Chains A and B, each alone.
Chain A
Amino acid sequence: EAQVTQNPRYLITVTGKKLTVTCSQNMNHEYMSWYRQDPGLGLRQIYYSMNVEVTDKGDVPEGYKVSRKEKRNFPLILESPSPNQTSLYFCASTPSAGANYEQYFGPGTRLTVT
């Protein structure tokens, strides 16, 4: 089954403790991205990747890092999480950056930083 998977689905952590949220897709998609969703603010893009070893900042990249060493994986790294990063996170992938392709979203990761 074609899908985007994220792990963990739920995470409660403390300020400053490094964490990684994994994202994997099995559709051989070139383009992957991370979003965060907060009440009243909608989904905002954090980082995106055009292909392996090609990443760039989205609208809200501060406090996050990403890497794209393999086509299927696009982990989101929080080196020193803070409470304002408490949010619902979604990973998404699409065949390419072209406008005629839909994005496929993962199930989400709910992160709480205390």
Chain B
Amino acid sequence: DAKTTQPPSMDCAEGRAANLPCNHSTISGNEYVYWYRQIHSQGPQYIIHGLKNNETNEMASLIITEDRKSSTLILPHATLRDTAVYYCIVRVFNYGQNFVFGPGTRLSVLP
């Protein structure tokens, strides 16, 4: 799997958009970009994933650059409950391949 680089921490004001960046400069053509988050010590929660097109669901939007070397997770209206560690993962199809979680970005949503 390609390695990812994320800032260790970020702050965001409640109600504002939270933009979490991720660099994955060595990503291969068949690797997907996944985002998960972990609130306290709960099980990681799936947010969104994509291959090369931008994606949007009820939780967030994923913007992937044209060269696919970086992406941004956007939480459009952050709430206090969005305070969590956010993980950016790239994953290739390969029998047995697992998700490799890095240290992630600790997002603090401030009132």
Contacts and interface: CB of A to CB of B under 8 A. Distances in A.
- Do A and B truly interact? yes
Question: Which label, helix, strand, loop or mixed, suits the secondary structure of the B interface?
Answer: loop
Contacts of B30: 99
Contact of B43 (A59, A98, A100, A105): A105
Nearest to B91: A99
B42 to A, nearest CB: 6
B51 to A, nearest CB: 8
B31 interface: yes
Contacts of B42: 107-108
B43 A97 contact: no
Interface in B72-107: 91-99, 101-104
Contacts, number: 60
Question: Which label, helix, strand, loop or mixed, suits the secondary structure of the A interface?
Answer: strand
Interface residues of A, number: 28
Interface string A79-101: 00000000010101000011110
Contact of B101 (A4, A40, A43, A56): A43
Contacts of A103: 44, 46, 99
B98 A45 contact: yes
A33 interface: yes
A48 B100 CA distance: 13
A80 to B, nearest CB: 25
A110 interface: yes
Interface of A: 4, 33, 35, 37, 40, 42-43, 45, 48, 50, 56, 58-59, 88, 90, 92, 97-100, 102-108, 110
Interface of B: 30-32, 34, 41-46, 49, 51, 91-99, 101-104
Given A97-B95, A100-B93, 15 more contacts: A37-B41, A42-B101, A42-B102, A45-B98, A48-B96, A48-B98, A88-B41, A90-B44, A98-B93, A99-B94, A100-B51, A103-B44, A105-B44, A108-B41, A108-B42
